Structure formats: structure tokens, C-alpha cells
Amino acid sequence: MNGKQLRIVFMGTPEFAVTSLKSLVENGYNVVGVVTAPDRPSGRGLQLHQSDVKRYAESYGLPVLQPEKLKDENFLRELKSLQVDLQVIVAFRMLPEVVWNMAPLGTFNLHGSLLPRYRGAAPLNWAIINGDHETGVTTFLLKQEVDTGNILFREEVQIGPEETFGELHDKLMVIGANLVIKTVNALADGNVKPLPQSSLKIDPERLHAPKIFKETCKINWQKTADSIHHLVRGLSPYPAAWTSFVGSGSETGVKIFKVAPENISHNYQPGEILSDNKNYLKIACADGFLHIRDLQLAGKKRLEIAPFLRGFPNPTNYKAL
């Protein structure tokens, strides 16, 4: 069977998923339905916000389902009525077996890591935070345990020494979309032999990629310059690594988006700030300094360091905590 003859349901929510859906639709694949998150109130006015996937799907007139609960009988009835052959999942929530077992050819997921590395919600962030030099995308068949199904295809990419989460995210969106097309065609042809993840060796420290919380993003200046550099890259531009500038009787939250490590011995306390008040600001850490290149004070605009210093005189009166 040709992949374009399959009746496909696509499930996803954020921007990362849109590129895969777009690739299917604009290459002539038969997407008969799209499942995405319900509209949610957001912003100061609490206006209903549609997911990126919903906006794209509606622009092409695709049927959209937005169940609150994936075991809801009305949703299951609608999904079954689509007579789906194959379900494709990209950046969506965990599915119950009654859903992922509905399609005759199965349900596969695109995951942003080289499984079995980095199972979980934030694989791209953790690959950079841990200082990895490579990552990739994987398609795999769903089973009950999260991100543990048999692997269909993997595509490896290198992580650049200065590459941020945002840059890696955008690169893997495109690579992942191509892998989705490859996987659909292979499943239609019966030309793929799923590989159990248990057959691949994995460093236990690279197994999990848990959700990122605010405390995950807080910089510990007792750590090494390289490890803080990786943290900043792995959280830039969102949700962003942060610290507090404390001094002069005040405390100000600061998001940091870009740094340059300087590995050099010194006698400063971790968190001490050094600056010429014009062109540079660096913060002491365990084995050197972090030169701050791009930052944002709470409630202010994001700035590069020179314009920041023009509006924040005497930063050496503060300490980073």
C-alpha cells in the first residue's frame, strides 16, 4: 500500500508538531482528522488560546477533535468513525490503550531524542544541559509505558558548542517532519522491522528527561563555568536560566540567555560580579567566570550587555544569588 492512501489521524499541540503535520498535508498524505488540546484561557484578558496545531489544521479545513478526556465515549466514537489506518503523534499527551490501539497499522510517536535516551517531557533541554554533543529524533510504536515502544527509525544530529534549545528545537522540527514521512511510507509498505529499546545500551544518567520547573532553571554559581554555560544554552530562550542580583537594599530577578565561559583560577566568591560598567559583566563561579552577553531584568526588555549596563550602573554593588 502507498503511504498516501492511508487514512491518517494526527495528534499534536505545540509549534514543534506543526511542521510534521504541514509536511504530511502539503505532500498529499490523507490526514482525515487532527486531535489537539482544548482551547485554554491565557494572557491578561484570559482569552481562549488555540493550539498551534489547531490553527494550522483549521486553515486547511481539517476536522479537529479537542477532547478534555481521551477516554470520553463521544471522542472515541468520533475517532472510530474516521476509520483510521495509522495514527501519528508529535508532542501530545499520553494516550490510553483504547486510543493508540485503534489503528490497524498502529500508532507511532516522534520523540526529540535518540531513544532510549531522554524519555520524558524535555529531551532537547536535557541533552544540552548535560553537555551532550549529539542528539536526534526517533519514531517508535506506542505501548503502555511512556516512550518505551519499539523503535522504527532514528536520525542523529550534532549539537553545536554554542547551540541553544531554541536553535536545536527549530532544526529538529524539520528533521523530525522528514522522519515522519519516512516512517509513514515504511509502515504502509511493511518495510520496517521495529527494534526493542531493550536491545540498545544506555547510560542511566541519560535515561530520563523530566519536565522543566522554575527551580530547574535557577543558576547555582557554586558550579563550574561549563556546566552553567550548558544550563543557560539548554533553557534559552524559554523558559530561561535565572538568578537574582542582590545588593543596594534590593533584589532583582534576572533571566540570562547567553554567556561565555572563562576557565581561570581566581579568589572571588561564587556569585561575585565584576564589570567595567561599559562593555562587560562577568560573574564568578567555581572554576572561572561567566561573561554575561544577553539578559533581562524582571519587568524589563531583553538586552545585550552594553545597553544593559547603560541602564544599570554599578553592578558590582550587587551579588548573584
Q: What distance in Å separates the CA atoms of residue 131 and residue 290, rounded to the nearest whole number?
A: 16
Q: What CATH number should be reported for the domain holding residue 153?
A: 3.40.50.170
| Nearest CA-CA partner of 113 in 207, 187, 188 | 207
Question: Is the same domain home to 113 and 258?
Answer: no
Question: Is the same domain home to 152 and 65?
Answer: yes
Model-level pTM?
A: 0.95
State the pLDDT at residue 45. Answer: 66
Q: Which of 206, 222, 255 is the last residue of a domain?
A: 206
pLDDT along the chain (321 residues), means of 10: 94 97 98 96 77 97 97 97 98 95 96 96 97 98 88 98 98 98 97 94 90 98 98 98 93 97 96 96 97 96 97 94 96
Question: Is the same domain home to 19 and 157?
Answer: yes
Question: Is the same domain home to 76 and 169?
Answer: yes
Q: Where are the beta strands (DSSP E) in 36-133?
A: 40-42, 47-49, 64-65, 86-90, 107-111
| Nearest CA-CA partner of 131 in 199, 239, 223, 265 | 223
Count each helix (H run) and each strand (E run) in the chain, helices first.
8, 16
Residue type, 113: S
Q: How many domains does the chain have?
A: 2
Question: Is the same domain home to 143 and 220?
Answer: no
Question: Is the same domain home to 146 and 228?
Answer: no
Question: Is the same domain home to 240 and 262?
Answer: yes
Q: What CATH number should be reported for the domain holding residue 314?
A: 3.10.25.10
Question: Is the same domain home to 166 and 314?
Answer: no
Q: Which of 206, 226, 254 is the last residue of a domain?
A: 206
The helix-helix angle for 15-26 and 52-59 (nearest 10°) equals 20
Question: Is the same domain home to 106 and 55?
Answer: yes
Cβ-proximal residues to 91 (8 Å cutoff; 6+ apart), any chain: 12, 13, 14, 16, 17, 110
Query: What letters, b where the CB count within 10 A reaches 16 and e where it falls short, cover 260-281?
Result: ebeeeeeeeebbbbebeeeebb
Question: Is the same domain home to 185 and 233?
Answer: no
Question: Is the same domain home to 180 and 50?
Answer: yes
| Residue 98 lies in domain | 3-206
State the pLDDT at residue 249. Answer: 87
Question: Is the same domain home to 163 and 224?
Answer: no
Q: Which of 164, 185, 206 is the last residue of a domain?
A: 206
State the pLDDT at residue 48. Answer: 83
